[in-house]
Amino acid sequence: MTDKYCVIGNPIAQSRSPQIHAVFAAQTGQDISYERCLAPVDDFAGTIGRLVAEGYKGANVTVPFKIEAAQIATRLSERGRAAGAVNTLAFRDGEIYADNTDGAGLIADIVRNAGVPLAGKRVLMLGAGGAARGAVLPILTEGPRELVIANRTRATAEALAAQFEGRVAVCDFADIDAPFDVIINATSASLAAAVPPLPPLAFCPDTLAFDMMYAKDPTVFMEFAAAHGAKVRDGLGMLVEQAAEAFALWRGVRPGTEQLLKELRSKL
């Protein structure tokens, strides 16, 4: 029988996940179906219960349910526990296993696709919300020389950093006085055509400025970074790579991503 999966969110019509997983299934010869699922904002748990009862094998989770998905899980991955939010659920043997593949997707795109190693590098994370939370542990696993979080509300950044026992530093935007090797914009500012208040000296020609958002044209953050000499990259590759990580968790086989990423880029 065809194994059923879906992506759950509200709204959900914009999700590219069905297209991505259809390509992965065809590429790897996996017999699955994958659809969008619009869940009521006040009944995520009920939606999960229905999917399990209907025989679904797993689901991806997007806004606004990632934190709630972690809370209803019967078993959390280390990445899920560190983030406090998850984007991938697997329904196995009566349990709900939850993982966060966003950070793994980020690392795969930066290190493998962009060819920028993080080991020994100075990394600046902008933002301390859900997107940032999912990225901290995977970044630390790469062995950076320093990981610093800058957020408009310092207390939020300090609370996140405290979970990692001295391995993560916090700074105010105004305190940045030297370039970083990698700057990751984990805020949603680009959706509002805004740029976090970064001083230009945060960038240099060797800096990779990565925006988790993506669009047909460069985001305002990417434009700002490029204007100050940095190399830039958006979040489309991260989207594809986190989906590949979820697919591998479900099916035990990792799909290739290079050709799909090119096709999605050409269709933006």
What are the tens digits of pLDDT across the range 56-70? 999 999 999 999 999
Residue % of the chain over a pLDDT of 70: 100
Residues 229 and 153 in one domain: yes
pLDDT of 130: 86
Residues 124 and 200 in one domain: yes
**Structural domain includes residue 110:** no
pLDDT beyond 90 at 20: yes
| Residue 266, marked binder | no
Residues 136 and 68 in one domain: no
Residue type, position 236, single letter = L
**Structural domain includes residue 107:** no
Number of separate domains in the chain: 2
Residues 6 or more apart whose CB falls under 8 angstroms from that of 31 comprise: 1, 2, 3, 25
Say how far residue 113 (Cα) sits from the centre of its chain: 15
**pLDDT tens digit string along 36-46?**
999 999 999 99
pLDDT of 146: 98
Residues 225 and 245 in one domain: no
pLDDT of 254: 96
Residues 260 and 159 in one domain: no
**Structural domain includes residue 229:** yes
**Structural domain includes residue 227:** yes
**pLDDT tens digit string along 134-177?**
999 999 999 999 999 999 999 999 999 999 999 999 999 999 99
Query: What positions carry a catalytic annotation?
Result: 66
| Residue 9, marked binder | no
Instruction: State how far the Cα of 61 lies from the Cα of 77, in Å rounded to an integer.
Output: 15
**Nearest Cα to 98, choosing from 64, 58, 134, 137?**
58
Residues 159 and 229 in one domain: yes
Residues 241 and 229 in one domain: no
Average pLDDT in the 23-31 region?
98
| Residue 212, marked binder | yes
**Structural domain includes residue 141:** yes
Q: What is the CATH number of the domain that holds 23?
A: 3.40.50.10860
**pLDDT tens digit string along 199-221?**
999 999 999 999 999 999 999 99
pTM: 0.95
Token output for 75: 């078993």
| Residue 16, marked binder | yes
Residues 16 and 90 in one domain: yes
Residues 86 and 151 in one domain: no
Residues 170 and 88 in one domain: no
Q: Tell me what the pLDDT averaged over the chain comes to.
A: 97
**Structural domain includes residue 157:** yes
Residues 223 and 244 in one domain: no
pLDDT beyond 90 at 89: yes
| Residue 78, marked binder | yes
For residue 25, report the phi and psi dihedrals to the nearest 5 degrees: -65, -45
Residue 17 structural domain: 3-100+237-267
Average pLDDT in the 131-136 region?
94
Q: What is the CATH number of the domain that holds 121?
A: 3.40.50.720
Residues 228 and 128 in one domain: yes
**Structural domain includes residue 52:** yes
The helix or strand, by DSSP H or E, that contains position 21, with its residue range, turns out to be helix 17-28
pLDDT of 118: 98
| Residue 62, marked binder | yes
**Structural domain includes residue 173:** yes
